[in-house]
Amino acid sequence: MFNRLYIHIPFCVEKCGYCAFVSARARPGEIESYHELLLQEMRLAAADHEQGAPLDSIYFGGGTPSLLHPLQVSRIIDLAAELFSLSPGVEITLEANPGTIDRERLRNFREAGVNRLSLGVQSFDDDMLRRLGRVHDAAQARHAFRDARLAGFGNIGIDLIHGLPGQTLSGWREELRQALSLSPEHISVYGLTVEEGTPFALRYPEESPEIPDDDRSAEMFETADTVLVEAGFEHYEIANYARAGYRSRHNSGYWRRDGYLGLGVAAHSFLREGYGFRFSNHDTLEEYSRELVSGRLPRRDEHLLTLEDAMAEFMFLGLRMVEGISCKSFEQEFGSRLNDIYGSTIDELIRIGLLQQERGNLRLTRRGLLLSNQVFARFLP
Ligand code: SF4
């Protein structure tokens, strides 16, 4: 069962130097044929899986979903409405690259039903944007934001990256200032990770002096927290800040383990069946289309969760949220007390200052937010 829908668009104008996502430049006609495959996958998946509650969110992620024609987005949303029931206030997010949109396209996306825009700005520094290999400059990002407002978007998020090559603390403060000057509803701040196999990994080998070290990255994380909270944003997940009422419902669902159906190349799904059922699609366009053309769902692998897996996920996904997890919810979901299962691990993490427990909730401390991967590793089955 699921109440969220994710659509993966694996195309980009150019590949950014730091990117390890499944995405590539589209060949002529490829986006249109991919769009048809998505519609077909949605029909097959709707016949194969029970929905559960009405869809509370639809999320177009990528890649660069704003490369889709607004009519293609409209057809996907319309088919979702036909095959699944939608909740009256369904949140429909489109990730957009500022180099791919103008006011007219934005207005058409809005008319297609998209009501939340996630703008991949990453930086307001032109030199940095060139180094990252982005296809837009800072002025285009600012224009895209203003055009989105004029096109009727009342819920816009901005993504920024810190820990960029050569970035200083004052440079990072300036990035935050520029983002706030646009008055977005949501800001995500991700730390750069240099992923193996990317051009960045060759250009910036481990411990490259150009990449801010752990202490400097921690300072940038702390700075973001101070600046954004002072500006009235709520820090609700490790990397995410929102104005009141504007948390991403779709992403919050991932951390609460809501069921979601993922469509498209390399998309992942999680259905609330038994302790949970996770599966993913083929990660090449060739295999993905071959399966669908043969009338089969393009599934690559499946994993039926055990009780132990489900409890671990509850911990390491739920702890991503700043409010943490409720001990009572754990007990309601699994019929066991949290301390009976993880008591010694929790005690140890509290003792070393990474977790804190208060009023029936367990959450990361400020230090724990910085070292979250160390905490999550302790709950892996
Ligand atoms: S636009 Fe996003 S998905 Fe595409 S290459 Fe750049 S970082 Fe990767």
The tens digit of pLDDT for each residue in 32-75 reads 999 999 999 999 999 998 888 899 999 999 999 999 999 999 99
Candidate of 9, 14, 16, 128 to mutate for ligand 1, largest count of ligand atoms within 8 Å of Cβ: 16
Q: What is the pLDDT of residue 207?
A: 80
| Structural domain includes residue 208 | yes
Please tell me whether residues 230 and 135 are part of one structural domain.
yes
Residue 164 lies in a domain: yes
- pLDDT score for 22: 84
Query: Does some domain include residue 226?
Result: yes
- On whether both 321 and 247 belong to a single domain, the answer is no
pLDDT tens readout for residues 269-320: 999 999 999 999 999 999 999 999 999 999 999 999 999 999 999 999 999 9
Residue from 41, 33, 35, 9 nearest 22 by CA: 9
My answer on whether 75 and 183 are in the same domain is yes
Q: Is there a single domain that holds both residue 89 and residue 222?
A: yes
Distance 66 CA to ligand 1 centre (A): 12
Phi, psi of 236 (to 5 degrees): -115, -15
Determine if ligand 1 sits within 6 Å of the CB of residue 334: no
Total number of domains in the chain: 2
Quick one: 156 and 250 in the same domain? yes
Q: What percent of the chain has pLDDT over 70?
A: 100
Residue owning the nearest CA to atom 3 of ligand 1 = 63
Amino acid letter at 126? D
Pocket test for ligand 1, best of 8, 18, 21, 94 (most atoms within 8 A of CB): 21
- Do residues 23 and 121 share a domain? yes
In a domain, 38, yes or no: yes
Determine the distance separating the centroid of ligand 1 and the alpha carbon of 271, expressed in angstroms.
27
CB of 63 closer than 6 A to ligand 1?
Answer: yes
Query: Does residue 151 form part of some domain?
Result: yes
CA angle centred on 221, ends 216 and 226, rounded to 5°: 120
Q: Are 55 and 5 in contact (CB under 8 A)?
A: yes
Write out the residue range of the structural domain in which residue 223 sits. 4-254
Distance CA 61, CA 146 (A): 21
pLDDT digits (tens, 9 = 90+) for 200-239: 999 998 788 888 888 899 999 999 999 999 999 999 999 9
H helix runs in 23-102, sequence order:
30-48, 70-83
Domain assignment present for residue 219? The answer is: yes
Q: Does residue 250 share a domain with residue 313?
A: no
Q: How far apart are the C-alpha atoms of 173 and 189, rounded to whole Å?
A: 12
Q: Is residue 16 part of a domain?
A: yes
Q: What is the CATH number of the domain that holds 170?
A: 3.20.20.70
Rounded to 5°, angle at Cα 239 from 208 and 381: 90
Long-range contacts from 121-128, C-beta under 8 angstroms, 24+ separation: 121/145, 121/158, 121/159, 121/160, 121/179, 122/159, 122/160, 122/161, 123/160, 123/161, 123/164, 123/175, 124/174, 124/175, 124/178, 124/179, 125/171, 125/174, 125/175, 128/164, 128/165, 128/166, 128/167
Is 321 part of any domain?
yes
Estimate the share of the chain in helix, then strand, then coil, as percent rounded to the nearest 5: 45, 25, 35
CA-proximal residue: ligand 1, atom 2 (nearest): 63
DSSP for residue 229:
H
- In this prediction, residue 51 carries a pLDDT of 84
Does 20 sit in the ligand 1 pocket, CB within 6 Å? Answer: no
45 and 126 belong to one structural domain: yes
Q: Whole-number mean pLDDT of the chain?
A: 96
pLDDT the model gives residue 209: 87
Look at residue 362 in the predicted model and tell me its pLDDT.
Answer: 97
SS3 at position 266 = coil
pTM: 0.97
Taking a C-beta distance cutoff of 8 angstroms, is the pair 253, 3 a contact? yes
